[in-house]
């Protein structure tokens, strides 16, 4: 058979299989002694096959369209269809490839195959740009790719995702799920700089709260040197701190506005990167002179040394900016000072803490500072009274403890939202006994888990053509 006739012959085969499957579906009847549950599963099995064949028919038709071939040629002309090492592809004719569709049904598709040279073509090294133009990567349809990655992000492990997918008739390996996570994460990263859902968000008169915090996970790194007796590479599993950001929106009463999904994101990189990401998100939002943005966090110095970057990003767009030390974190230091006070009874400690809280909530920060200075006076350099007192004075004098003003403007005084985010994103998915991650995989999972928990999965943009493709 002429190679150019292969896709048309495959289309006819798919159409015949679709007609046969449809006829078999219409003839389905519940058998004697068959339970309704078993009949439902039998119907689903047939409907999944019809779905896969119908989509495969449209894919094969699209690949036969003149526009698709012209698009491939244009990409090749612009030298966009390249490998990492910048080697241009050449068209090597049509080649069959099995594609996995929803329901777990694989259907052969005949597509134009690009490869660098004849020996690589003969060994199957190359790729199908026409399929990539349709969003088909890693030999799975876009819907299956999305489902694999979403299952991995939602469930407790890759194994749990594999079992859940098998229940839906999609039998795939953990490696294939991991590959889908990597592919979808690459698409999702585009949202950090170009998210239409954020750019069109109406924020006039809105109050926005932003927070940053860190968690703990273990990263696996190979060790240099001698291997084990079984020939395995030795490795270490050091603790690392993934850093997460949270941007959420308030209603007129100061409650979290559930109609607008929050923005969650994270990185395994350093603190500079998370602040860069936060500023990028703020630059996409329609902040104006009527918008209030509050930064709230715990007392980590690395955050407060960079809070001026957030202030600049907000004020450059005309917004109002304020920052606040987490009240409950601050209160812990009050308890430390009261507990370290010499010869104080429990009652005296409680009375002093209540008095300090009253100063803060009445806006009398001057009296608060005076009392802290009085209690820490004469304490040793590294004593609890000195270190806790210095901490409270530093943040109070920097204007980060204006809790009375925050309450008057219906703004939160605690960072519970970001603490909850750390638990739901990191602790319940990436952290666990004997759970170790490669840094690149942890980075991908962190992003996808954030999108899933923020209910923003639907905003992942399908970016179309992948400009770089690793050689098979």
Could you write out the DSSP letters of every residue in 116-176? SSHHHHHTT-SB-HHHHHTT-BTTB-HHHHHHHHHHHHHSSSHHHHHHHHHHTT----HHH
Q: Greatest CA span in the chain, whole angstroms? A: 98
Whole-number average pLDDT of the chain: 89
Supply the angle between the helices 327-340 and 365-376 in degrees, to the nearest 10: 30
Residue that the structure tokens 């990028």 belong to: 280
pLDDT surpasses 90 at 469 = no
| Rounded distance between C-alpha atoms, residue 100 and residue 410, angstroms | 51
- The percent of residues above 90 in pLDDT, for the chain, comes to 71
pLDDT in tens, 35-76: 999 999 999 999 999 999 999 999 999 988 865 666 666 666
What confidence tier does 138 reach under pLDDT thresholds 50, 70, 90? confident
pLDDT surpasses 50 at 463 = no
Supply the angle between the helices 365-376 and 346-361 in degrees, to the nearest 10: 150
Tell which residue, 458, 446, 460, has the closest CA to residue 153. 446
| Rounded distance between C-alpha atoms, residue 350 and residue 339, angstroms | 10
Q: Average pLDDT of 264-278?
A: 96
Tell which residue, 329, 378, 371, has the closest CA to residue 354. 371
Burial (CB count within 10 angstroms: exposed 0-12, middle 13-18, buried 19+), residue 220: middle
Enter the pTM of the model: 0.87
Instruction: Provide the sign of the torsion angle of the four alpha carbons 131, 133, 134, 136, taken in this order.
Output: positive
Q: Average pLDDT of 320-325?
A: 96
CB 373 within 8 A of CB 393: yes
pLDDT in tens, 410-437: 999 999 999 999 999 999 999 988 899 9
Structure tokens at 25: 């579906």
Domains, the chain, with CATH or none: 3-136 (no CATH), 193-326+414-437 (3.30.420), 328-397 (no CATH)
Between 207 and 4, name the one with better pLDDT. 207
Structure tokens at 458: 């639907």
| Rounded distance between C-alpha atoms, residue 367 and residue 369, angstroms | 5
For 215, 252, 340, 424, 434, the CA distances from 431, given in Å and listed in that order, are: 9, 37, 35, 10, 9
Tell which residue, 132, 86, 146, has the closest CA to residue 471. 86
Say what the pLDDT of residue 89 is. 58
82-83 and 468-469 strand pairing? parallel
| Rounded distance between C-alpha atoms, residue 216 and residue 268, angstroms | 10
Residue that the structure tokens 């660098």 belong to: 116
Q: Average pLDDT of 70-88?
A: 54
Say what the pLDDT of residue 471 is. 35
| Rounded distance between C-alpha atoms, residue 103 and residue 377, angstroms | 72
């Amino acid at each position: 058979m002429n190679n150019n006739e292969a896709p048309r012959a495959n289309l006819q085969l798919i159409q015949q299989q679709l007609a046969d499957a449809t006829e078999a579906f219409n003839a389905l009847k519940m058998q004697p002694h068959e339970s309704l549950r078993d009949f439902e599963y039998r119907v689903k099995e047939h409907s999944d096959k019809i779905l896969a064949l119908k989509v495969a028919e449209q894919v094969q038709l699209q690949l036969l369209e003149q526009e698709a071939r012209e698009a491939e040629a244009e990409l090749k002309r612009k030298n966009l269809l390249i490998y990492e090492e910048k080697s241009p592809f050449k068209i090597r004719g049509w080649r069959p490839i099995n594609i996995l569709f929803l329901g777990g049904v694989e259907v052969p598709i005949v597509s134009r195959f690009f490869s660098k040279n004849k020996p690589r073509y003969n060994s199957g090294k190359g790729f199908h740009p026409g399929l990539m133009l349709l969003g088909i990567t890693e030999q799975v349809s876009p819907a299956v790719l999305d489902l694999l990655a979403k299952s991995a992000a939602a469930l407790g492990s890759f194994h749990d995702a594999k079992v859940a997918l098998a229940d839906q008739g999609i039998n795939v390996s953990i490696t294939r799920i991991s590959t889908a996570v990597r592919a979808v994460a690459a698409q999702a990263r585009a949202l950090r700089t170009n998210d239409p859902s954020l750019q069109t968000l109406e924020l006039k008169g809105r109050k926005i709260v932003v927070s940053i915090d860190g968690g703990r996970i273990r990263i696996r790194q190979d060790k240099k040197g001698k291997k084990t007796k079984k020939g395995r590479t030795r490795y270490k599993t050091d603790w690392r701190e993934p850093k997460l950001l949270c941007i959420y929106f308030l209603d007129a009463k100061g409650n979290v506005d559930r109609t607008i999904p929050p923005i969650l994101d994270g990185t395994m990189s350093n603190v500079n990167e998370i602040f860069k990401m936060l500023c990028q998100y703020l630059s996409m939002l329609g902040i104006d002179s009527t918008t209030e943005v509050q930064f709230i966090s715990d007392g980590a110095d690395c955050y407060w040394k960079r809070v001026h970057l957030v202030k600049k990003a907000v004020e450059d767009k005309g917004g109002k900016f304020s920052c606040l030390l987490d009240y409950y974190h601050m209160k812990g230091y009050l308890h430390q000072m009261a507990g370290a006070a010499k010869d104080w009874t429990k009652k005296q400690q409680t009375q002093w803490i209540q008095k300090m809280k009253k100063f803060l909530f009445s806006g009398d920060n001057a009296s608060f500072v005076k009392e802290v200075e009085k209690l820490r006076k004469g304490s040793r350099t590294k004593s609890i009274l000195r270190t806790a007192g210095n901490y409270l004075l530093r943040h109070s004098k920097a204007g980060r403890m204006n809790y009375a003003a925050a309450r008057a403007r219906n703004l939160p005084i605690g960072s519970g939202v970001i603490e909850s985010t750390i638990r739901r994103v990191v602790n319940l998915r990436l952290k666990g006994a004997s759970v170790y991650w490669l840094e690149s995989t942890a980075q991908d999972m962190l992003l996808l888990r954030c999108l899933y928990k923020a209910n923003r999965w639907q905003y992942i943009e399908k970016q179309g053509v992948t400009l770089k493709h690793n050689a098979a």
